Amino acid sequence: MTQPDSPATPGPDPLNPLDPLKRLDTLDPLDGLYAAARADGGEALDRLLAEIRPLMLRRCARLLPCLDDAEEACQDALLSVARNLDSFTGAGSFRGWVTVIASNAARATYRRLKRRAETAALIAPPEPVDPRTTSVIAGSRLDLLDALEELEARHPELVESVVLRDLASLSYAEVARRTGVPLGTAQARIHRARRFLRPRLSVVEG
């Protein structure tokens, strides 16, 4: 008598996010470096910082026109990553997490340099400068960072969402998770922030 065929063992499901092959296909190399750095520190941490430095410097340079200023912000961001590695909870991507840190470091550097410039201006008014090529130490400029400062003063609840989305390039869903609000609320905050920022920017990126 012929025995019925045994049920076939299901193969890997590439659409299942928990499938091991799917995880291998989508694994970010930074995730492995992060895991090694968190477990061992030392040389593993040095390798991680060396790997993320170009990413973080590019992010800082998007906001700070002078390379020296961007380098300063990047160094602060790397130090923050090294000190706070254990605070990454795994909610969202590690790449997104370090990008947020870089964006915040650039903003903090801008504030610090702007205060320094304002203090220096009280002593001697600065000479006219080209804001595209000079440090904000030499003269502040009306740009995205200035607009974000105004947004933070007038609508502080909107700043984090637009920074995560438009500076750190996180998805709307990840912005919602990080800010702890429903997706629709995150999208509405980003829309309101963009509407506030747009007329305050001399050049609006597409």
**Which residue ranges in the chain fall short of pLDDT 50?**
6-25, 124, 126, 129, 131-142, 203-206
Residue 77: both structure tokens together: 């961001």
Q: C-alpha 122: how far from its chain's center?
A: 34
- Amino acid 203: pLDDT: 47
CB under 8 Å to 196, separation ≥6 — which residues?
Answer: 147, 151, 154, 155, 158
- Amino acid 110: pLDDT: 86
Q: Which of 93, 108, 94 is nearest to 63 (CA)?
A: 108
Residue 25: both structure tokens together: 């296909």
- Amino acid 136: pLDDT: 43
- Amino acid 27: pLDDT: 67
Question: Please, what is the Cα angle at 74 between 71 and 79, to 5 degrees?
Answer: 130
Q: Report d(CA 203, CA 195) in Å as an integer.
A: 14
SS3 content of the chain, % helix, strand, coil (to 5): 70, 0, 30
One-letter amino acid at 132 equals R
- Amino acid 3: pLDDT: 52
pTM: 0.62
| Residue 78: count of CB within 10 angstroms of its CB | 21
CB 97 within 8 A of CB 169: no
Q: Which of 44, 52, 152, 30 is nearest to 102 (CA)?
A: 52
- Amino acid 137: pLDDT: 38
